[in-house]
Amino acid sequence: MFHHPAEDGGMKDEQARRQALQAMLRALADAEGELLDALHHDLGKSPSEAYVSELEGVRSECRHALAHLHRWMKPERRKLPPMAWPGRAVLHREPCGSVLVISPWNYPVFLSLTPVACALAAGCSVVLKPSERAPRVAEVLDRMMAGAFPSGLVSVIVGDGGTAKELLKKRFDHFFFTGSRGTGLEVAAAAARHGVPATLELGGKCPVMMFSGGGAGGTKLRDRLDTAARRIAWGKYLNAGQTCVAPDHVLVERDLYEPLLDALKRAFDSFGRDGYGKMVDRRHFDRVRAYLGQGTIFHGGVVDEATLSISPTILTDVADDAGVMKEEIFGPVLPVIPCDDLEDGLRRARANPDPLAVYPFTEDAGVVERIRAELRSGAVCVNDVVVHVAGVDLPFGGTGNSGMGRYRGRAGFDAFSRERIVLNRGLRWDLPFRYPPLPDLKNLKRALKIFGA
């Protein structure tokens, strides 16, 4: 039922990798219209949002790899231990082999094809299993990859969760998964059974933490609250909140609580509803709608069952033990929680597992440093949200519950490469101090010091 890539694991020479990345770029251009239509059908994305948040990210990944591939692949000289003198040691980065990519539904093009591009840059063959919850996109990806690559280099397997479970029984040289923590643990277990690595990009409750730090910093932050609110609201509005690094909730000092609520309301109102997305399916719609009853709706809260749409909603008066404060929201609901001070905010943030990102909003460098030092997360993005994901030169990934491993750009190339040392010596010269009978300890130490050990 499942085609397994060639045992040689793909492409070892640079030219073949370049051709594969260029084929990906051509395939994206040829299928652009189909992909945009499919993204609108599955997720309600407007053409503009879909192009920027899905297609352009994949193009950037391919172009970045093409620009840097020669340097990434270049062997590196490494220092020898004294007992191997004279000689030469070289580090090579070689393809890990065959890669299984299981991708999610929320960014079904970007989160499918960026890891594929990284794997191709590393010289690997790929089996891609796109999410069945974005079925139209999966169909387009299947046709697109079949037409772009020779058999066995990139294969798309369309199917449901049972199909994914069957794939996990097959042997691959690297497993790459983006999605929920529960499924991620299954992928990690499958990789462990085969004795190979796994990269897991999971989720988490990414907190916004707005604390002035007092003094002039407080005045500056209050004066710039509209900009801060617009950035936070944009991160929640994007893809109707169905983004793994979306701001999940806001922890804000009490003096800024009411002004921030008003600024967030203005920001959401200014965005309008043109091109605003929908919940991916009825199950997800019902799950997110249930959160609306777990606090007071300050703004929004409009639902449309016919279109599976939930308007951007600001939620207040939320209990600490409410589901919306314990579970990843993954929708357009934004709880805003007043805090007594930074200590209170840090305590609340630590109540949840490590997230993919933390978003400090402050003009005080000391506040940023405390948040960075005292909270664990995949990334820290100061005075903005989500934008760090767009950087091809910024390794992306989580920690703890939010995942393990990094990719994008050089980090993606390294994730799917295996470092291999080649140490080469001649037989003409040979240092005697390594062989038995060894000299006494004093003379041995002297010899090691002379040779720099």
In this structure, the answer to whether residues 52 and 111 fall within a common structural domain is yes
80 domain-assigned:
yes
Which two tokens mark 132?
Answer: 């069945």
Q: Are residues 155 and 109 located together in one domain of the fold? A: yes
Q: What is the pLDDT of residue 343?
A: 97
Q: What is the pLDDT of residues 24-41, one digit of tens each?
A: 999 999 999 999 999 999
Say if residue 6's pLDDT is above 80. no
Which CATH number is 299's domain given?
3.40.309.10
Report the pLDDT averaged over residues 398-426: 97
Domain count, the chain: 2
pLDDT of residue 129: 98
Strand partners, 253: 339
240/179 same-domain check: no
Residue 2 has pLDDT above 50, yes or no: no
- Residue-wise pLDDT for 135-172, tens only, equals 999 999 999 999 999 989 999 999 999 999 999 999 99
Confidence of residue 10 (pLDDT cuts 50, 70, 90): low
What CATH number corresponds to the domain at position 79? 3.40.605.10
Mean pLDDT of the chain: 94
Same domain? For 144 and 20 the reply is yes
The residues with which 129 forms a beta bridge, in sequence order, are 102
Range of the domain at 143: 14-202+398-419
> Quick one: 110 and 179 in the same domain?
yes
8-state DSSP, 3:
P
Q: H helices of 122-253, where? A: 135-148, 161-169, 181-194, 216-223, 225-237
- Same domain? For 406 and 370 the reply is no
Q: Is residue 350 part of a domain?
A: yes
Give CA–CA dist 431/450, Å, rounded: 12
Residues 158 and 228 in one domain: no
Q: What is the pLDDT of residues 190-239, one digit of tens each?
A: 999 999 999 999 988 999 999 998 766 667 899 999 999 999 999 999 99
Regarding whether 166 and 41 lie in a shared domain, the answer is: yes
296 & 343 share domain:
yes
The answer on 74 and 113 residing in a single domain is: yes
CA neighbor of 332 nearest in space, from 411, 257, 233, 440: 233
Q: Let me know whether 327 and 233 are in one domain.
A: yes
Mean pLDDT of the region 289-295: 98
Is residue 2 domain-resident?
no
Residue 441 lies in a domain: no
Q: Is residue 383 part of a domain?
A: yes
- In degrees, rounded to 5, the angle at the alpha carbon of residue 124 between the alpha carbons of residues 120 and 126 is 85
User: What Å distances lie between residue 92 and 18, 73, 76, 212, 399, CA to CA?
Assistant: 18, 8, 7, 49, 28
User: Are residue 186 and residue 310 in the same domain, yes or no?
Assistant: no
Asked whether residue 8 is domain-assigned, the answer is no
Q: What is the pLDDT of residues 437-449, one digit of tens each?
A: 988 899 888 877 8
User: Omega into 197 within 30° of 0, i.e. cis?
Assistant: no
Sequence letter at residue 373: A
- Per DSSP, the three-state class of 359 is strand
Residue 450 lies in a domain: no
β partners of residue 122? none
Confirm whether 429 is domain-assigned: no
Q: Is residue 321 within 8 Å of residue 342, measured between CB atoms?
A: no
Whether 174 shows a pLDDT value over 50: the answer reads yes
User: Which residues are tagged catalytic?
Assistant: 201, 244
pLDDT class of 3 with cuts at 50, 70, 90: very low
